[in-house]
Structure 1
Amino acid sequence: MTIYAFIFARGGSKGLPRKNILPLAGKPLINWSIDIAKSVPDISRIFVSTDDEEIAGVAKAAGAEIIDRPTELASDTSAEWLSWQHAVKWVDQKYGSFEYFVSLPATSPLRGVEDIEAAINKLKTTAADICITVSPAQRSPFFNMVKHKNDDLVELVNNKRDIVRRQDSPEVFDITTVAYVTTPNYIQQNKGVMSGSVTSVCVPRERAIDIDTQIDFEFAQLLAEKAMQK
């Protein structure tokens, strides 16, 4: 059984410039994903797909193999799914076919080994095409999420008239960037994460933070330092 980990880290982040190599609790953000992948016994190779030389240097020093991402796949408008397809093809040509693809975005540094293993095992034991990670949502489209309509007014995202209390709304979850587990064939034959049958594992919110802004980074720093003190 061959399971490979992939980390996709382009250099052009605008929400938090250079976020993939910002130091979080003493080490570059991307190294958190590389190090946790090393701790999963079933993962035999770790790849970082990037268009950025500095990110590549940091990742290589941490023990990852670098996939040079084409410039056209590293813009603000390019879909990361295309980079997944590029990486699968690159690895297949260099090392031959493999069974499972595990994406570990650098923006979720607080994931645990148990979260990755749970996602891998879930996909192995179901008929789904892909396993994503989720966490309990703090807001519900059935009760306290709104969207704009005409005349600068708002309405509920999902306006079911029979739901009058949050307790009555269906349980909803946020998709996290803790882990995505699928197969190379699914990636090459489809156009996105939700194209096929999707299963999930639930991750506690404290391990599911997704860093996109400075506030996210500062919160992750706080949680990381707290965990290191235990």
Structure 2
Amino acid sequence: MLAVIPARGGSKGVPGKNLAPVGGIPLVARAVRACVESVHVTDVVVSTDDHSIAQAARTAGAEVVLRPAAIAGDTATSEAAVIHAMDEYEATHGFTTDVVLLVQCTSPFITVADMDGVASAITEGGADTALTVAATHGFLWREAPDGDVADGYGVNHDKANRPRRQDREPEYLETGAAYAMRADGFRDVRHRFFGRTALVRTDPHRVLEIDEPDDLSRARALAPLVDATRADALPTRDDIDAVVLDFDGTQTDDTVHVDSDGHETVIVHRGDGLGIAALRDAGLPVLILSTETNPVVAARARKLRVPVLHGIDRKDLALKQWCEEQNLDPQRVLYVGNDVNDLGCFELVGWPTAVANAHDIVKGLARSVTATPGGHGAIREIAAWILGPSLSRTSRRDPSQ
């Protein structure tokens, strides 16, 4: 059972859409994780023409099929991308697909239950195709054929007869999140609906497709509520044994003020100091790791009472050695970065984390992304992920802030 996630890089409505973080996780990574965690899906592939999306997909646990330009434009269909990905993946791995899933990462709140639902509708329910739907009792209207908005008419009801909600049979809205097809039939008709089509009901409160910038804003606002049932959405204290922080761009806004004598100053956020103090008080080792040889980095580390390694050319090697000295499993280390010189550390740790204003490639490869920019409380936000309500209730002001 092969899940294919089409994710091209050329979105015009929402530029960079498939790498946009929702609830701290890039959209493409959210889709990959739902597929990877499914008990039915055996293989997950992302079809893309974009290098950054490909990297993010691999980091999240998918394999990648690079999509040719001929099927990567605005008029390309999802079906064409799925067939190409299926053919390429089968040729590379030497097997034949029985069931293929089309999964769209523009549905940010897609769930494992969605994956398993459409898959089992075919493997156990005898359907040829399946899709996720949400029940609705809404009354639909349409303008008159001549466009006269003053003469609307009911589509699924008689406007002279308005039965109560409980007296009406529900209708079903296609969510756009997940589809499943018998692979041989899909190849024959080259369309996602044929034969017997099963409707797999999903929670209507999770239904949202990101097509416009306002959709993305709404998804980000809803994520804390909708993701509350996901145990793995953001790291907790049970996931983390240590926190390692880049300095410039994560604890600062990446701006340096230079006076006429060449002295450099930066601005830091008091909330970050509180967050670091709370992590330290919770018994978590905290390290500042920076390529810069700058007295301000060491001064800030002394203020926060945490160790610092700065003037480091290869941060990944320094981080690896530090983990060995501290007897830490790198997979239980959270590393916070913002630029491409952090990617080596991202590959080493289990929780690579980017701040909101990080480079797009860095955000695409991050396992989690803050909603707050670096230098404006991003570290405080991460501390709240890890420590939860205990940090929110902290009222004392630590002198090390």
TM range (shorter): 0.7 to 0.9
Write the distance in 2 (CA, Å) between the matches of 1:29 and 1:147.
35
| Alignment partner, residue 58 of structure 2 | 60
- CA offset at residue 22 of structure 1? 0.6
| Deviations 1:99-133 (CA, angstroms, capped at 9, x unpaired) | 11122211122122222212211122333210011
Of 212-221 and 19-28, more deviation after overlay is shown by 212-221
Within 5 Å, which residues of 2 pair with 1:121-132? 121-132=120-131
Q: CA deviation at 1:207?
A: 2.2
Query: What SS class does the counterpart of residue 3 from structure 2 fall into?
Result: strand
**What is the aligned-residue RMSD (CA, Å)?**
2.3
SS of the residue aligned with 2:193?
helix
Shift in Å at residue 63 of structure 1? Answer: 2.0
Q: Is the 8 A contact 1:139 1:145 kept in 2?
A: no
Corresponding residue for residue 141 of structure 2: 145
The higher radius of gyration belongs to 2
Q: CA deviation at 1:229?
A: 5.1
Matching residue within 4, 7, 25 for 1:6: 4
Q: Could you tell me whether the CA contact under 8 Å between 2:27 and 2:105 is conserved in 1?
A: yes
Matches within 5 A, 1:68-79: 68-79=66-77
Q: Is the 8 A contact 1:149 1:155 kept in 2?
A: no
Question: Counterpart in 2 of 1:204?
Answer: 203
**Is the 1:59–1:66 contact (alpha carbons within 8 Å) kept by the matching residues of 2?**
yes
Report the CA distance between 1:147 and its aligned residue.
3.3
Report what 1:136 is aligned to.
Answer: 135
Whole-angstrom distance in 1 between the partners of 2:156 and 2:3: 40
Measure the CA separation in 2 of the matches of 1:148 and 1:10.
Answer: 37
- Following superposition, the deviation at residue 139 of structure 1 comes to 3.5
Question: Is 2:48 aligned against 1:50?
Answer: yes
Q: 1:38-187 to 2 correspondence within 5 Å?
A: 38-95=36-93, 96-137=95-136, 139-140=138-139, 144-150=140-146, 152-153=148-149, 154-156=151-153, 158=155, 164-165=161-162, 167=164, 170-187=169-186
Q: Work out the CA distance in 2 between the residues paired with 1:207 and 1:228.
A: 10
Using the TM superposition, give the Cα deviation of residue 204 of structure 1 relative to its aligned residue in structure 2, in angstroms: 1.0
Are the equivalent residues in 2 in contact too, given 1:15–1:213 (CA < 8 A)?
A: yes
Given residue 162 of structure 2, which amino acid in structure 1 is its aligned partner?
R
Contact map agreement 1:6 1:46 (CA 8 A) in 2: yes
- When the two structures are superposed, what TM-score results if normalisation uses the length of structure 1? 0.87
Deviation of 1:174 after TM superposition, in Å, equals 1.0
SS at match of 2:131: strand
2:160 & 2:118 partners in 1: Cα distance?
32
With 169-178 and 21-30 compared, the bigger mean Cα shift is at: 169-178
CA-CA distance at 1:185 after TM superposition? 0.9
Structure number with the bigger relative contact order (C-alpha 8 A, sep ≥ 6) is 1
What's the offset of the Cα at 1:170? 4.9
* TM-score, length basis structure 2: 0.52
